[in-house]
Structure 1
Amino acid sequence: MGSFSTRYRMIAATGLSAAALACLASPAQARSQISPYIEVQQILDFDLSNNDALGDDVVTYTSVAAGVDASIATRRIEVGASYRYERRIDWNDDIADDDVHSGLVRARANVARGLSLEAGALAARSRTEIGGAGLGSLTGDNDNSTQVYSVYAGPTFATRAGPLEIGAAYQLGYTHVEDNFAANSDPNQAPVDYVDHSTYHQATASVGMSPGDMLPFGWVASGSYEREDASQLDQRYEAYYGRVDVTIPVTPTLALLGGVGYENVEISQRDVLVDANGNPVLDNNGRFQSDTSAPRLLAYSVEELIYDAGILWRPNARLELAARVGHRYDTTIYNGYLTYQASQSSTLQAAVYNEISSFGRGTTNTLAGLPTSFTVSRNGFGQFSGCAFGEGSNAGGCFDNDFQSLNASNFRSRGGSLVWTGGRGPWSYGVGAGYQNRRYLAPTTSANFSLDRVTDEAYSLQANLGHQMTPNSSLDGNLYATWFQSGIPGEADVFSSGGSATYSIALYSGLSAQASAGLFANDVDGEETDWLGTLLFGVRYGF
């Protein structure tokens, strides 16, 4: 979801001047808003796929939640946070009692001139079984969901030495997926390995010069090192990059871009422990186990010269467009981005990307790309919907396509994304859309099925609209649609869609009430569409 690839977004960010990094609110502009709350809700789920919608197909339960929304901005610190813990309590043994954590935190601290610390954390739900139902509203029982946690932190440094701009950064990320009891539960499908946890390191450095500083063109020399160690099959991703880029102004608004460099990428793993029939031996959570007695297997390796060329068009301070075509990953690649800030409160961002990724790296890099000031998209039932919409020049980002599959393998990721956010008067809105094509990179193992070169496709769309009706009341709506097409033989395609509306009213002294209604559909190929209607009534007390 960036200008070229995730790692080059990082290098570009570290090339900023120290003055730009220090451009935060002055003490007179410092602001803090911390809003903790507790909430009690009563939820009714109606299975509308059955004609007897008023009989056994009605499930009711109570939800008790606590959370906090926070925004802090001073000269040295910026923090955005939205976290919610929810405990679901069943009435008639219709569902299992459950705990749900959801939310985002992004923070930046300027600790010294040119030196800042970046950090972020994510808690969310993701779909477990690739061919199973989508997450829908996440109300009631949903066997095909599991909890995902991700966190990252690291320093960023930028300074100048005469005309030279110097930057460096380091990032440490960790992603964990809880037990996947529904994983590989269908005996008629080829088993697929699922993410457990991974640790991700990324280090970058750059030195360069802007056009007009001694030379009529700009240049930057950059390097990067990445490594991810995943617990599943002791998988290891390691990559080295180095390149030189030039920017040649043609007109005051148009420049030519070009770059050449070197890359070395290697992905390896352990062999799969199999039974006498060549079937993977699964643990109690449906995940593969490693054959530690066998040597490591090579899943992907490339060492080559990389190059690309393109244009940068910036007709004014609000609009920027870049596009490149070149050679990388032993094939032709296309990358680009568009940023348009229509007004102080309305921003559009679009990107086309082409990279090698994994669930852990993709989640960490999406998290790191979010602004520190954002609004978490939640539906009427308090659940994080996958997008965080920013303010000002950063429109935010979405995790939707990443969360449609928890496959543990690395993959070639190609696709595009769009985020549009803004508001006017009493209205606010946010739109997120994305497409991702995954071609998996896997070695030939002892198992009787390999994911190598299998291709998945994922589409996602989400839209939020809010209206402040009076100083004490508001009406909010949420719509979404996702489509996942698996390339695994016999695996079902899944289409999920739905929407909800919520009316909220402030009563007195921090007490408010809300009513929500939602309609959700899951369409698994070859099965009857599952329709779910949901009603919610709740009260909240804010401190």
Structure 2
Amino acid sequence: MTAYKTGSFLRCGAAILPLTGLAVPAVEAREREADVAPYIEIQQILVADLKDGSDVLTYTSVAAGVDTSLQTRGAEAQVNVRYERRFFYEDNLGDEDIITGLARGSVQVVPNLLALEAGAFAARSRVDLRGEAPSNTVGNIDNVTQVYSVYAGPSLSTRAGALDVNAGYRIGYTKVEDETAGVLPAGQVPVDIFDDSVSHSANASVAMQPGDLPFGWSVGAGWQREDGSQLDQRFEGKQVRADVTVPVSQTLAAVGGIGYEDIEISERDAVRDTDGVPIIGDDGRLVTDTSSPRLLSYDQDGIYWDVGVLWRPSRRTSLEARVGQRYGSETYHGNFAYQPNQNTALNISVYDTVSGFGNLLNDNLSSLGTSFTSTRNPLSGELNGCAFGPTSSLCFNDVLQSAASSSFRARGINGQLTYNHGGWNTGLGVGYARRRYFASQLGSVSAIDGLIDQNYYANLTIGRDLDRYSSFDANVYANLLDSGFANAPNVLGVGANAAYYRQILPRLQGTAAVGLDSYQQDGFDSELTASALLGLRYDF
């Protein structure tokens, strides 16, 4: 049985692999392979506003981190985490702490039966698509906040005769720190900001592959819930579903599925003053009226379906594409994976889901494999937008485009390409993300109901070892943001940086980096900043 991730629920479908006439590649027994690389860094950074030559900022950064890769017969993990303390010399700037990282792991509790999956993520996110779009998040910046997310849970996979049996559960927690959007276009009011949430996801399925019968089949059920503290928002979805796979040839199959689901999203009103105006607390968020009745913002139940094709001409190429009716309209989703050799991998996914901020972040994190490469901006030390792996890659741009508290329908497309050959390491991520928000017309955030925002993004990373002692890497990135609010102009953010690394002594490395960052928005002064860095890193 193959499980296909489609938005907030696990959709089950019978596997197509037996139709190809190809044997399943044998999984090589893994020898123990562990690489733990803790390090410390000290850096001196200069940031200059090229639109105003008098505005120059310098600061010192001290950081500690660890890069870990673990591959054994019973466990797999990849960890990239970094803590940074920035010391500013300006009287109007306080020192700040930043934690960024990405981690995924899996432990076989009972070999070939029960595993424990976990993941964690820490990064900075935009608050509001209408505000500033700084790429170099240094100094007195607005519209940027810190996001943390973690999840864990067991997964079961076994066979009972000719049946494939799968089940899983996940609990997650997501937190957004207190920040404001800063200056917005004239006439625009801030959106309510996500605070924190606890999410749950459970699924179970039974399937039979084609062979004993002229077709494959599966039946499954899923449940998901997210409880957010902001306005006491609640997302709950339940579904049951059946799928069939009908072989057309050795490499092609027709697929179809039908199910029933019930999704309900609700919130409470905010505390209001004597004039009926919602009250905003010290953290910049609306104050929840805990005595308010629940206000329904989304209620969708009924039959949904989709049909499509599965194509696997070889072990290195696979395609799934489906079209159907769901969430009250047409829906399209699928994925394409191509790995012609060990140096090249291409992954493209089209998605359509109804979710909340925490649920979507956990879904994205759980879809990333336990082997990946995540690069960092050499000037800010923060994670770049994508993580690249040999079998799965992921860009977080879609979920981090804004931190609005309301749930939404998310649709879009993501593509990631990795190419490693002749000493070059290259990764390209591009995508488009579209959200339509849900809010009660009787509540305090009714203005966001039906709002559609859009994000177009691209990230390119290139690296190469120059010799035994030196290397370089470069990053280019761009975002075009459309908030959907009337009279709110689009925001374009672009940037590029490059870094040179040189081993000075065993375990001691020097770094020199430069970068340019810019964003433009009608009605605001455009911004162009240049950055330079000199630093030392010691690996233990």
1:124-523 aligned at under 5 Å gives the runs: 124-182=123-181, 188-212=187-211, 214-381=212-379, 382-390=381-389, 392-394=390-392, 396-447=393-444, 449-523=446-520
Q: Write the letter of the residue equivalent to 1:174.
A: Y
Instruction: Supply the distance in 2 between the matched residues of 1:283 and 1:84 (Cα, whole angstroms).
Output: 32
Once residues 356 and 408 of structure 1 are traced to their aligned partners in structure 2, the CA distance between those partners, rounded to angstroms, is: 14
- 1:528 aligns with 525
User: Structure 2: which 5+ residue stretches go unaligned?
Assistant: none
Per the alignment, residue 34 of structure 2 pairs with 32
> Counterpart of 1:402 in 2: which secondary structure?
coil
Q: 1:119 to 1:528 in 2, by over 3 A?
A: same
Q: Deviations over 1:319-358 (max 9, x none)?
A: 1111111111121111111111121121111111111022
DSSP-derived class of the 1:153 partner: strand
**3-state SS of paired residue (2:245):** strand
- Deviation at 1:524? 2.2
C-alpha distance in 2 between matches for 1:367 and 1:16? 26
Count of aligned positions = 532
Q: Hey, what's the Cα distance between the residues in 1 that align with 2:295 and 2:445?
A: 16
Are 1:103 and 2:104 matched, yes or no? no
- TM-score by length of structure 1 reads 0.94
Q: Residue 64 of structure 1 aligns with which residue?
A: 62
Which stretch shows the higher mean deviation, 369-378 or 442-451? 442-451
Q: Secondary structure at the match of 2:139?
A: coil
Superimposed CA distance per residue, residues 377-401 of structure 1 (whole angstroms, 9 cap, x where no aligned partner): 21222211121111x222x101112
SS of 1:453's partner is coil
Secondary structure of the residue aligned to 1:176 is strand
**C-alpha distance 499-305 of structure 1, shift in aligned 2 (>3 A):** same
Aligned with 2:37: secondary structure?
strand
CA distance in 2, matches of 1:323, 1:78: 30
Report the counterpart of residue 7 of structure 2 in structure 1.
6
Change (3 A) 1:103 1:16: farther
CA distance, structure 2, for counterparts of residue 448 and residue 251 of structure 1: 53
Query: Residue 528 of structure 1: CA displacement?
Result: 1.9
Q: How has the CA–CA distance of structure 1 residues 252 and 14 changed in structure 2, closer, same or farther, with 3 Å as cutoff? A: closer
Q: Which SS does the other structure have where 1:152 is aligned?
A: strand
Using the TM superposition, give the Cα deviation of residue 182 of structure 1 relative to its aligned residue in structure 2, in angstroms.
4.0
Sequence identity percentage: 43
Displacement after TM superposition at 1:279 (Å): 3.1
Q: Deviations over 1:35-92 (max 9, x none)?
A: 0000000000010112xx2x3x111010000000010110001110000111000123
Following superposition, the deviation at residue 128 of structure 1 comes to 2.0
* Amino acid in structure 2 at the alignment position of 1:433: V
Matching residue of 2:77? 79
Measure, in 2, the Cα distance between the counterparts of 1:13 and 1:458.
34
Deviation by residue 1:211-266 (Cα, 9 ceiling, x = unmatched): 11x10111010100111100011111111110100000100011000111111111
Cα distance between partner residues in 1 of 2:14 and 2:371: 18
Relative to 1, partners in 2 of residues 1:448 and 1:6: Cα closer, same or farther, differing over 3 Å?
A: closer
Q: Which moved more, 1:240-249 or 1:448-457?
A: 448-457
- Give the alignment's Cα RMSD to 1 decimal: 2.3
Question: Judging changes above 3 Å, is the alpha-carbon distance between structure 1 residues 440 and 68 closer, same or farther for their aligned structure 2 residues?
Answer: same
8 Å CA contact retained: 1:356, 1:411 = yes
1:141 Cα deviation after fit: 3.2
Q: Write out per-residue CA displacement over residues 2-46 of structure 1, whole angstroms, 9 at most, x where no aligned residue.
A: 9561345575699999xx99987635x221110000000000001
Q: Confirm or deny: 8 A CA contact 2:430 2:457 kept in the other structure.
A: yes
Q: Which amino acid aligns with 1:5?
A: T
TM-superposition CA deviations, 1:150-171 (whole Å, max 9, x none): 0000000010011000000001
**Separation in 1, partners of 2:13, 2:140:** 44
Contact 2:17 2:312 in 1 (8 A): no
Q: CA–CA distance in 1 between the matches of 2:377 and 2:117?
A: 28
Structure 1 residue ranges without an equivalent (≥5): none
Distance 1:465 1:187, change over 3 A: same
Range that drifts further, 485-494 or 340-349: 485-494
The two structures have a TM-score, normalised by structure 2, of 0.94
More off after superposition, 178-187 vs 203-212: 178-187
Query: Equivalent residue for 1:49?
Result: 51
Distance in 2, matches of 1:13 and 1:109, equals: 26
